[in-house]
Structure 1
């Protein structure tokens, strides 16, 4: 048995849990080995990842078997299979349980990197794994205890404590069969002691009792002279203290406290009802057309992530973690306990479009899966925050490379052509192949992210709209987007369709080839928009004069000419003249298809014809946030 003596202040900190308090590390057990195979280590990493992502963490208990890899070089008798289990204290649920397990998963990898069998205890959760199955079995080794400084007055108190705990064990294993029980014991001089027992929930009732009684048998040797004590094993734990360390369950309390809880509940219900009526009336009066956030109806299968985990991963949204900012809020880089990098979009509480964008992101990205669309991993709606968690794109945005004199040298012609093809395939998926027919409405260089292999992924679906079957276009009075990429019919009349995205794609193609921004190009020596300038040079048969100078050593003339031609077809003034994105993909993949001659592109989208009240800013990682105002 391992015994630890701690002072009163630490004991109270250990045994008292509040919602704001992070989990407190207690102890670990690491059985190291020099014969661990690479496959076993890989399976352990898989287990750690499972702990941080398992949907059952909010329920407080689960176990698994990881057997994904084989290694023929293993020592005889050593199994690569990893058996894992986690358990939270019965009263710790939801994000508190998730946060404790996330912390445990991080610490267990750091403290026991070469362990065959590992257990880590916190004040409110336990995580363990081994190459030997322990599911449904009583594990009593290692066993350890904690005692506080308060001493009993005489031996009769020790007998009384032991009797009280036996009753609590009977309550957990025979009376309720819930694997846990708590009780308040009236002690001498109006004092109250608080008891707790709990077993792993995969143990049979008899085995649960065996585990708890085995710990209580250790009480006379380790803890009988103390008023504050706890004894733990891998499969169960018992605890007694003069401070209430668990959250109320509604059972075992005094009549007075129950009456107070009932009274407060009634008052709270009345207040909540009044507030709900007012809120409903206010929302209906002020914004009849607004669809409120309702997790149950639009989040699909997208998991939530605790706010406290996000705070931990981003170092409390520190300045050093910030990737960028825009009209909708801030973007931060984060690191999950399993080592996965993430991009965290924290929507501004003062953004007029924040709720709308938040809802759109979850409605669309969560339901759309394609290699050329950025993945939304989770979301958070806690403490009035609206937070989206994305996969992290190590190379940032296309914008950050294409319009930077140093970074653009990394984009040779093969990479640029690959980016053009990838964007096109992503848009075809949105328009034709996904479960929803989605119009993105904000395609631009800063909304194209690049992974570590420079593959493009379309991001930021805050302005996206879904079309019904048979619907070809829609109209809006609130024109929102980014000037320079807007189709003329959308910018001028509020009409949008799949051809609106085709126009934006065409602008992107020309920017990728020329290496210049469409917006602001008229301020250069050319005195006209990038689109009109490119069309005139193409009509003069001098299209190779348009290419970005950093491409002179890598471009293939026929491919550049074809892409310029396709880009000009996409930015034609009239929507009906533009090709569909599926036709664009066919044109990009064919060397023999005869392409029609493009008509003149739109003159001045984003120039002087429009009132430039819409701006765009993007982040370095470029889960892009656009500041878009109505005309």
Structure 2
């Protein structure tokens, strides 16, 4: 009886950890401390500027999931997955700020990847230019029974989502959706919002190249880079899109909201359900 109860507990734990989309815990993937950029000394102006920068990210009232700022010579960028609401995003930014300083003490450049957010800082300019390194990839251990079929379906889905995300506005470049003609595959792609449209496409295209090498026929996987990321699974891992952010009425016109999800059909008959968040901002 005790063994049966233990087995049920493991099963419930698996369901809560892997299958319930509302469970978006801040799972740390990895930090990268960049030694090539050198170290700062304790008590230096760089440390004071870094602390000021990361504290501002933790205390921000921004509710659209994209943060960028500078303090002295320190530049920082942070963004959350596009389906994550403001409270969870700010919580992830706060945790990232604390963990970066703990895990990369005295590093002048570092980046940390969580499941739902990315935070980086550097003493060089990092805004508006796409970067692929340092790179993290995590393939699922299970395979599809039809490797070729799954790869083709995944490639088509990711390309559609890539274009949707890249055409987003300056606050968010994110798209999610699923394909249903093969075994259902859910996917989400994203770029750092400061990256221009073509650079977003280039970043994602480069990251997709690891799929045939490290994720060939896999039933799930994720890849994280400073300027872009993607993830795919056979279960729904993302949440419904939150409301689009409302720009200041003194600076911007009313935002353009996306229509409800619809079925799209490609030229070869493949049906896709695409959900993209596009925020159109006029300077």
Task: Say yes or no: TM over 0.5.
Answer: yes
Q: CA offset at residue 44 of structure 1?
A: 1.1
Q: CA offset at residue 215 of structure 1?
A: 0.6
Matching residue within 18, 27, 31 for 1:28: 31
Structure 1 match to 2:164: 171
Q: Does 1:50 align with 2:56?
A: yes
- SS state at 1:142 partner: coil
Q: Does 1:233 align with 2:236?
A: no
Structure 1: gaps spanning 5 or more residues: 1-8, 68-80, 255-631
Are the counterparts in 2 of residues 223 and 229 from structure 1 also a CA contact under 8 Å? yes
Q: Which is richer in helix?
A: 1
Q: Does 1:197 align with 2:205?
A: no
TM-score by length of 2: 0.74
Q: CA offset at residue 17 of structure 1?
A: 4.8
Q: Does 1:91 align with 2:83?
A: yes
Q: CA offset at residue 195 of structure 1?
A: 1.1
Are the counterparts in 2 of residues 152 and 225 from structure 1 also a CA contact under 8 Å? yes
Structure 2 match to 1:160: 153
Q: Which is richer in strand?
A: 2
Structure 2: gaps spanning 5 or more residues: 1-12, 242-258, 264-283
Residues 138-537 of structure 1: matches in 2 within 5 Å? 138-153=130-145, 154-174=147-167, 179-188=173-182, 191-249=183-241, 251-252=260-261
TM-score by length of 1: 0.34
Question: What number of residue pairs does the alignment pair up?
Answer: 229
Q: CA offset at residue 35 of structure 1?
A: 4.4
Cα distance in 2 for partners of 1:195, 1:216 equals: 12
Q: CA offset at residue 137 of structure 1?
A: 0.7
The structure having more radius of gyration, on CA atoms, is 1
Are the counterparts in 1 of residues 39 and 106 from structure 2 also a CA contact under 8 Å? no
- SS state at 1:49 partner: helix
Are the counterparts in 2 of residues 15 and 123 from structure 1 also a CA contact under 8 Å? no
Q: Does 1:64 align with 2:69?
A: yes
Are the counterparts in 2 of residues 28 and 121 from structure 1 also a CA contact under 8 Å? yes
Cα distance in 2 for partners of 1:116, 1:14 equals: 35
Q: CA offset at residue 149 of structure 1?
A: 2.3
Are the counterparts in 2 of residues 144 and 232 from structure 1 also a CA contact under 8 Å? yes
Distance of aligned partners of 1:93 and 1:116 in 2 relative to their CA distance in 1, 3 Å threshold: same
- SS state at 2:40 partner: coil
Per-residue deviation, residues 190-243 of structure 1 (Å, max 9, x unmatched): x42111111011111111111111111221111122020111101110111111
Are the counterparts in 1 of residues 153 and 179 from structure 2 also a CA contact under 8 Å? no
Per-residue deviation, residues 160-179 of structure 1 (Å, max 9, x unmatched): 211221121122224x5662
Residues 64-143 of structure 1: matches in 2 within 5 Å? 64-67=69-72, 81-143=73-135
